[in-house]
Amino acid sequence: MDLYDYKPQLAMRAGQSIPYQLPDTEATVGLDNTRLLAPVSGFNHQGECGLYMSDLLPHTARHADELCVLRAVQADSPNHPVAIRQLHTGNLFDTVPSMGSWLSYGLGTENQQLPSYITILPQEGERNFSSAFLPAIHQGTAIQHVESSPDKAPIRHLTDSSVPPDVQRRRIDLIQAMNHRQLHRLATDQQMEGVIESFELAFRMQAETPRLVDFSSESKETLDLYGIGEEPTNQFGRQCLLARRFAEAGVRFVQVSLGGWDHHGNIAEGLKKECSVSDKPVAGLLTDLKRRGLLEDTLVLWGGEFGRTPHTQILDGNKNAPGREHNHHGFTMWMAGGGVKGGITHGATDDFGYYGVEGKVHVNDLHATMLHLMGLDHERLTFEHHGRPFRLTDVAGTVVKDVLA
């Protein structure tokens, strides 16, 4: 309700008691005498479609006609680690493959010198970009640094500066010979095959990766487009430009992470700060993809594991700087490019923005739709494990056909 889902009733009744029932099973810390909190920014209609969105996103607003806004996304938990795991893997608790790993497994790679799944500055641990029981080659590769610095390798353990490349090659050949011998004894072992492929990929990446993380070939206009070289957009701008470069090079799934959105207090200032960090780089990515002819073949997904409540949360007794609690019952994400309709909104929350009431899109539905847009059937993309077939959407998920172009 603060960025993409304006609620007139919320603005009109700000400061009043909440008119809806809170679930008994959810935490109520800081919710004593909670009241409705008005949207913390102004809103305006943007683009030919007239998308009503926050003034905190002036750069993204220029792409309103390319956005497919999902206003009633739902998850199953208001707890950060659990909800983040569900967003990444479709599962609340078990260690299962992430969505990037499933896409890698289903589509393979376009560039033999690079992994098919890269995550840039991941926030929440390896379980969220793990290949789990899929072959190891489908594991997400983490980019740990985005600054241009010779003393910081972007990927851990990719190179060994203590020995020359020919010695590294002989080491890998020896290890691979032992791996192949073990594989021959086992007759077939997908995990061992994945390890063998991963060793070879890591060696090949030593030549390709430095070129991609070096921005010296980019024009000043492109760097400015992402906000690189200025604050507060420099680091996130680098992440988004890296995403474009990896996508252009044939990486199937690229994830960019940005923390700092958990505004339990002082949401008015906190949200303004996060938007100032992210708005220009995100818009720059959309502009860059579009002018390079990549957006129509690239699906961009923006969002988090859940949204925020319409009512206040006051922590540490600071009544003058309220925040909002977690809300997984109805929140907003958007997609662009990659075969979705642009300039539309799908679904709706109630008059206050708490519960999804129309066009609800569960995380499983989101995953099913993403796979469909990538040419994959979520019910047929399976992997046998522990005696049963697993899939990203498990036993749920429906493609949201209304958003397909």
Is 346 part of any domain?
yes
pTM above 0.95, yes or no: no
Beta bridge partners of 312: 324
Is 51 part of any domain?
yes
pLDDT in tens, 220-243: 999 999 999 999 999 999 999 999
Residue 279 pLDDT: 98
pLDDT at 376 over 70: yes
Question: Number of structural domains, the chain?
Answer: 1
Question: Mean of the pLDDT values across residues 311-331?
Answer: 84
Residue 189 pLDDT: 55
Nearest to 129 by CA among 257, 295, 262, 307: 257
Confidence class of residue 150 from pLDDT cuts 50, 70 and 90? very low
CA angle 391, 396, 398 (to 5 degrees): 105
* Of residues 354 and 314, more confidently modeled: 354
Is 43 part of any domain?
yes
Is 171 part of any domain?
no
Q: Which domain does 381 fall in, by range?
A: 8-106+260-403
Confidence class of residue 94 from pLDDT cuts 50, 70 and 90? confident
pLDDT at 40 over 60: yes
C-alpha 256, offset from chain centre? 6
Contact 367, 397 (CB under 8 A): yes
Rg, Å, the chain Cα set: 22
Is 132 part of any domain?
no
Contact 4, 336 (CB under 8 A): no
Contact 300, 336 (CB under 8 A): yes
Question: Mean of the pLDDT values across residues 250-276?
Answer: 95
Is 71 part of any domain?
yes
Is 236 part of any domain?
no
